Structure 1
């Protein structure tokens, strides 16, 4: 189910009606091209309802609809999609992004951030050069709990899938088709599809319950983290490397905490002190590389392991 997030920063800008009309034509064609791949479930998410949208400064969508018969047809095509608003209405929980902020050129970017957070696609009116691209970079600030229990903001730049004209859709077709067929929408689906989604990962039986009861806020972050771990394992050559070249931050526990990272693995107690982190909150995936098989084995998916657990 592709979620398309309408970039509010590309709307209500200063441009003449002819340029706004052309931009809306491109946007509608691009959105419909995505919906063609998954006509039943594609949703267009906007901060305001579409009927209240201001396409350009002084040019509300109602005025655009009445400007020509072609515009009215395009409006009907937009209405054939499910429209959801505001942006946070599609989050798995009201506070799902509570410790996360996205900015573009120093300004908060709601839709661009939501597209990244929810693993969707941002959609823009191509009225400026910066929106005429299949990917947009944004700055992300994330409050994370470190291994010593302290809190710290981590800042980085991330790329957001983006479309504003039909040619951009071609850049994402593989992902769109995969999204409509295979992407897990719940923790339980992650468990049930793990062999197909993550062929280079192995999971201890204890993780079935953890994934089945996974907090909805964690489904996308866990899915992404597992994807990166799987890619690292797939590229790993144990004959030349002691462990995979990690594609995300993987760190060891300190000596005093290794004792809480021991789990029964095929009748033996093993230490899974290597861990990847995910947010919101202190999410952890504990793992160990299995050199003889060229795989990564997962022992824990959930919150930070506390000493009394």
Structure 2
């Protein structure tokens, strides 16, 4: 799957003269071009409708002949996106929402939720950083939960340099286009994980917009289990929101293990959009994790 660039809509519609908008757009396109060519851009609105400054939509900026090449560069990045913004954004209270300084931040949230790179117009000091702090809010068991998270960010070409290592990892991900490819390469990608045979069907029927999120969550899980094995800690240090199941739901987490014995695989990691879950159990004998299920939240 390609590198996902997500426009931070909060960086648009500031009060500023058109000349300043022009400079910000030049820097924005330079940022897009600094990321490897397979990257794609998604935006919460259609490009012509995006207000670059109050009362100054992108359609007016694009109509200026001096901006023709810049406009084409932006459209090219967006036209290659395999998904729309609506297909990637959170869909319910369990998925939650993201806020920046108390303001709803859709683009920044999608970038964080899908391990992408948030890109902004350089219109404010908030966007002069290589990472941006967010508050994630979600509902679970009828309780509102919150957590402080950080999203990768760039508003100029120089910012992209700080994400070089991550981009190299993304280049490997770009060769994975289906869940079955994840299954085929599982031993190479996830040496600390084992999988029940039934997971092959789960991955084979994985929807396209879940391929990259599942790949990312499995890699995080593999890293957490690898660290658990090295340190000898009581539990792994999870890379994302991972918990055991509530007592009342443990029965629906039962699967027949490799030895034919039914076990409870109640540990689970989340992925979006929608209620995606990876269910697994910890195997103490060799300090590994065994994955039993990948798909929509069990029982929903």
TM-score (norm 1): 0.78
228 and 256 in structure 1: CA distance in 2 versus 1, 3 angstrom threshold: same
Larger Rg: 1
**Residue of 37, 46, 51 corresponding to 2:48:** 51
CA contact (8 A) 1:238 1:294 kept: no
Partner of 1:288: 281
Partner of 2:292: 299
1:73-112: CA deviation from partner (whole Å, max 9, x where unpaired):
4334334433489xx834447x852333222222222211
> Per-residue deviation at 1:169?
0.8
1:126 aligns to 2:119 (yes or no) = no
Distance, in Å, in 1 between the alignment partners of 2:243 and 2:74 is 46
Unaligned runs of 5+ in 2: none
1:110 aligns to 2:106 (yes or no) = yes
Unaligned runs of 5+ in 1: 145-149
CA contact (8 A) 1:272 1:288 kept: yes
**Residue of 67, 84, 90 corresponding to 1:89:** 84
CA contact (8 A) 2:90 2:97 kept: no
Matches within 5 A, 1:200-279: 200-216=192-208, 218-237=210-229, 240-253=232-245, 261-269=253-261, 271-278=263-270
205 and 103 in structure 1: CA distance in 2 versus 1, 3 angstrom threshold: same
> Per-residue deviation at 1:256?
7.1
CA contact (8 A) 2:34 2:160 kept: yes
Give the paired residue count: 293
Partner of 1:42: 39
CA contact (8 A) 1:42 1:82 kept: no
1:204-258: CA deviation from partner (whole Å, max 9, x where unpaired):
1121112222355644543343222111111123783344333445444567766
TM-score (norm 2): 0.81
Distance, in Å, in 2 between the alignment partners of 1:257 and 1:62 is 51
**Residue of 145, 152, 159 corresponding to 1:168:** 159
Matched position secondary structure for 1:214: coil
> Per-residue deviation at 1:191?
1.7
CA contact (8 A) 1:207 1:300 kept: yes
Partner of 2:131: 135
1:179 aligns to 2:174 (yes or no) = no
74 and 263 in structure 1: CA distance in 2 versus 1, 3 angstrom threshold: closer
Matched position secondary structure for 2:278: strand
